[in-house]
Structure 1
Amino acid sequence: MKIQKIGILLLLAVSLNCFGQETNMEKKDVAKGEMMVRIAELEIDPNAIDEYLNILKEEAEASVRLESGVICIYPMYQKENPTQIRLLEIYANKAAYESHLLTPHFKHYKETTLKMVKKLKLIEMQAIDPESMAIIFNKLKQ
């Protein structure tokens, strides 16, 4: 299935970018508990799913690669319903998130996918053990 292949490639590409370079600012913000964590729940128009996944993949990769305050944008979809997308978003702090919203790649994503997104729900999360995040990302590097 074409959607599954795209999804697997998307997951691989973005997961490789979830453990990019850390800055001192990010380490301090994690230690102080200022990290911003969110889960975005999206429902995508089935007729636009392939195009949406390509645009999302580009945006997530660019965000992690270009923005030091974007720690992770990890897109996934439900195996039994690929139009149900979930994003794990982790930012060093609220300022990093606000800066992210102003970037050309995010604006391009929002403008080009606006009609593809049927539903969007943003769920603010609180990390229970933010200190363990470095351990998780270091395991991925091995």
Structure 2
Amino acid sequence: MNFNNHFFLKIAILVKGGLVILFFGLVSCISSPGDASSISPANTDEMMVRIADIEIDSAYLEEYIAILKEESEASIRLEPGVISIFPMFPKEKATNIIIVEVYASREAYESHLQTPHFKHYKRATLDMVKSLKLIDMEAVDKENMSKVFGKLNS
């Protein structure tokens, strides 16, 4: 694995009374032409960050996770505008899937929705999902994001 083309986001999640608060220093994995240094302060303004909070029917959990892993891997590998699809769950509640999604732009997100792998994921998991909440996020310190990305390359 070439870490110049793959980097990780450290995410701290606090779950309190059903409220998920995310603090992040950077996002999951990236696989795109170029490297993390191509993310500059100028284009961090265009980035779209979204949290998907999904409740899965426990009868389908293993199947759902297999489909989700396939979709997130394909998104990162095939779509230059997908910076992160980072699924996780609270240790005490595996049926509550939280996904940190980061896109280079709104257009990259819209393009992602039209891909065959995303459409397959949506069709295949439709009856497995009990609830879905999408939360659009805003970075507290956009100027610092490029510094974090750059630090991961050093």
Q: TM-score, normalised by structure 2?
A: 0.73
Aligned to 2:51: 39
Higher helix share: 1
Distance in 2, Cα, partners of 1:40 & 1:99: 18
Aligned to 1:7: none
Aligned runs of 1:99-110 on 2, under 5 Å?
A: 99-110=111-122
Aligned to 2:132: 120
Counterpart among 99, 110, 133 of residue 145 in structure 2: 133
Distance apart, 1:129 and its partner CA: 1.8
| Runs of 4 or more above 4 Å deviation | 14-17, 22-26, 137-142
Percent sequence identity is: 54
Q: How many equivalent pairs are there?
A: 127
Instruction: Tell me the amino acid that sits aligned with residue 104 of structure 2.
Output: A
Distance in 2, Cα, partners of 1:86 & 1:46: 15
Counterpart among 57, 63, 74 of residue 51 in structure 1: 63
Distance in 1, Cα, partners of 2:144 & 2:31: 16
Moved more, 15-24 or 54-63: 15-24
Distance in 1, Cα, partners of 2:153 & 2:112: 25
Aligned to 1:4: none
Distance in 1, Cα, partners of 2:129 & 2:123: 11
Instruction: Describe the SS at the equivalent of 1:58.
Output: helix
Distance apart, 1:134 and its partner CA: 3.8
Instruction: Describe the SS at the equivalent of 2:31.
Output: coil
**Retained in 2: the 8 A contact 1:43–1:119?**
yes
**Retained in 2: the 8 A contact 1:36–1:92?**
yes
Q: Is residue 2:32 matched to residue 1:21?
A: yes
Instruction: Describe the SS at the equivalent of 1:81.
Output: coil
Distance apart, 1:141 and its partner CA: 5.6
Instruction: Tell me the amino acid that sits aligned with residue 29 of structure 1.
Output: N
Unaligned runs of at least 5 residues, structure 1: 1-13
Counterpart among 75, 83, 107 of residue 71 in structure 1: 83
RMSD: 2.5
Question: 1:104–1:60: structure 2 CA closer, same or farther, 3 Å change rule?
Answer: same
Instruction: Tell me the amino acid that sits aligned with residue 62 of structure 1.
Output: A
Distance apart, 1:118 and its partner CA: 0.4
**Retained in 2: the 8 A contact 1:19–1:140?**
no
Distance in 2, Cα, partners of 1:46 & 1:116: 8
